[in-house]
């Protein structure tokens, strides 16, 4: 049995340094790293000494005296890590990361290049997906971003599955024969040729960009460099309020994050 299976399925006891979502039934949640030397402020009672949480089980309730307020101790999912991570840049949303990885065939064991690390949101999704035997090679020009991303990965216990690499221009990637390459940069067309060299034949490229102009320019570059199966899409998630006798869609939604452009590198 590997370390990962242990982590996912059997480990129930919270240890010092573990990540934690604290959920209150008014919908309030806190994302906490369990540092026994610290306390965490909440909205409905005195600060919680985090050492009190060590040894408790994920999934169990904790009660706060004397208010009788209860909260649930939850192990964060990758979606939680992404949405709650400290960020200094835009992030890739879980919906987009999920559909992207499905479409590119990224799975446990895959080797993936990521260009444009930002706060590490997509890195969290990719590393969780390729673990325990795959690897993500994450390039960015900004060392401060990679430092932040590394901290976010460490909190999620996924740092082993990524190698961060500083890259200042558009030089070829160091890694070869990768299964997929994911571009989250403003001018992805500068990377079309490098991407082709780094991908194995049959490998898949994804580029995430917010504007129509970017995906249009990138689609042209991919065609010029011989990529095939070039297609683009957007993913919309709409909340539904399922309540007895009064079920309806939510009244507001996120209507745009990124367009996603996909392509395959032939031989």
Distance CA 133, CA 176 (A): 17
Contact between residue 134 and residue 111 where contact means Cβ atoms under 8 Å apart: yes
Q: Which is nearer to its own copies, 146 or 155 (CB)?
A: 155
Q: Which is nearer to its own copies, 113 or 146 (CB)?
A: 113
Give the ranges where 22-91 is alpha helix by DSSP (H).
Answer: 78-84
Contact between residue 80 and residue 31 where contact means Cβ atoms under 8 Å apart: yes
N- to C-terminal Cα distance for the chain?
37
Alpha-carbon Rg for the chain, nearest whole angstrom, is: 21
The maximal CA–CA distance of the chain, rounded, in angstroms, is: 68
Distance CA 233, CA 215 (A): 10
Q: Which is nearer to its own copies, 95 or 142 (CB)?
A: 95
Least distance (Å) from its own copies to the CB of residue 4?
Answer: 4
Strand 178-183 and strand 111-115: the pairing is parallel
Query: Count of CB atoms within 10 A of residue 122's CB?
Result: 28
Least distance (Å) from its own copies to the CB of residue 31?
Answer: 14
Distance CA 145, CA 136 (A): 16
Least distance (Å) from its own copies to the CB of residue 109?
Answer: 4
Distance CA 124, CA 129 (A): 9
Q: Which is nearer to its own copies, 144 or 252 (CB)?
A: 252
Least distance (Å) from its own copies to the CB of residue 138?
Answer: 17
Least distance (Å) from its own copies to the CB of residue 57?
Answer: 7
Q: Which is nearer to its own copies, 164 or 259 (CB)?
A: 259
Q: What is the DSSP secondary-structure string of 96-129?
A: HHHHHHHHHT--TT-EEEEE--TTSHHHHHHHHH
Q: Which is nearer to its own copies, 133 or 166 (CB)?
A: 133
Least distance (Å) from its own copies to the CB of residue 151?
Answer: 21
């Amino acid at each position: 049995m590997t370390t990962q299976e242990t982590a996912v399925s059997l480990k129930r006891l919270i240890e010092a340094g573990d990540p934690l979502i604290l959920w209150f039934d008014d919908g309030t949640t806190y994302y906490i790293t369990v540092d026994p030397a610290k306390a965490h402020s909440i909205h409905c009672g005195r600060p919680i000494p985090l050492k009190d949480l060590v040894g408790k089980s994920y999934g169990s309730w904790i009660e706060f005296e004397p208010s009788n307020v209860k909260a649930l101790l939850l192990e964060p999912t990758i979606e939680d890590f992404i949405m709650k991570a400290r960020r200094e840049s835009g992030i890739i949303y879980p919906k987009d990361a999920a559909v992207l990885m499905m479409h590119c065939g990224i799975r446990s064991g895959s080797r993936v290049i990521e260009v444009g690390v930002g706060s590490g949101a997509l890195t969290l999704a990719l590393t969780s997906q390729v673990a325990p035997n795959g690897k993500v090679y994450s390039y960015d020009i900004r060392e401060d971003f990679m430092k932040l991303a590394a901290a976010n990965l460490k909190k999620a216990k996924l740092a082993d599955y990524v190698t961060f690499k500083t890259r200042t221009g558009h030089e070829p990637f160091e890694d070869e024969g990768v299964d997929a390459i994911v571009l989250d940069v403003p001018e992805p067309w500068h990377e079309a040729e490098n991407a082709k060299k780094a991908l194995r034949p049959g490998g898949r490229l994804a580029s995430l960009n917010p504007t129509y102009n970017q995906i249009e320019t990138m689609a042209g570059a991919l065609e010029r460099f011989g990529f095939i199966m070039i297609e683009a899409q957007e993913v919309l998630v709409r909340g539904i309020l399922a309540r007895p006798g009064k079920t309806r869609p939510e009244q507001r939604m996120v209507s745009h994050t990124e367009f996603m452009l996909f392509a395959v590198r032939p031989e």
